Amino acid sequence: MSDKLNEQELVTVLSAKTKVDPKLIRLVLKHEQTFINNAKANAKGEVDIDNDDLVDYVVAQRDVKLDEITVETILDAEMDYLMDKGLAGYID
């Protein structure tokens, strides 16, 4: 995570927005980071993450006991947070 991103603040915001336990949010974010780290960058050095693939990956982890909708809600809320902070965006 970058210095600009305070994980505690992120987890607090996501928990308030999604009503999901912060421990479960941290677990989802940990698996998301693994997925992103394993993704291949394109020629421009950008990593294009398919949200459906990411949700499927997180839900498939043995220690994740959340349903697909909840995981997607957490990840969507995280993306909103990151875009508000100017740290992420969508590629058309």
Number of domains composing the chain: 1
pTM here is 0.84
| pLDDT exceeds 90 at position 87 | no
> Does residue 58 fall inside a structural domain?
yes
Residue 41: domain span: 23-83
Helix (H) or strand (E) holding 56: helix 51-60
Contact (CB, 8 A) for 44 and 50: no
Q: Looking at the chain, which runs of residues are DSSP E strands?
A: none
pLDDT digits (tens, 9 = 90+) for 59-84: 999 999 999 999 999 999 999 999 89
The rounded mean pLDDT for the chain is: 90
Going 7 to 90 to 77 to 71, the CA torsion angle's sign is negative
Sign for the pseudo-dihedral over CA of 48, 52, 55, 59: negative
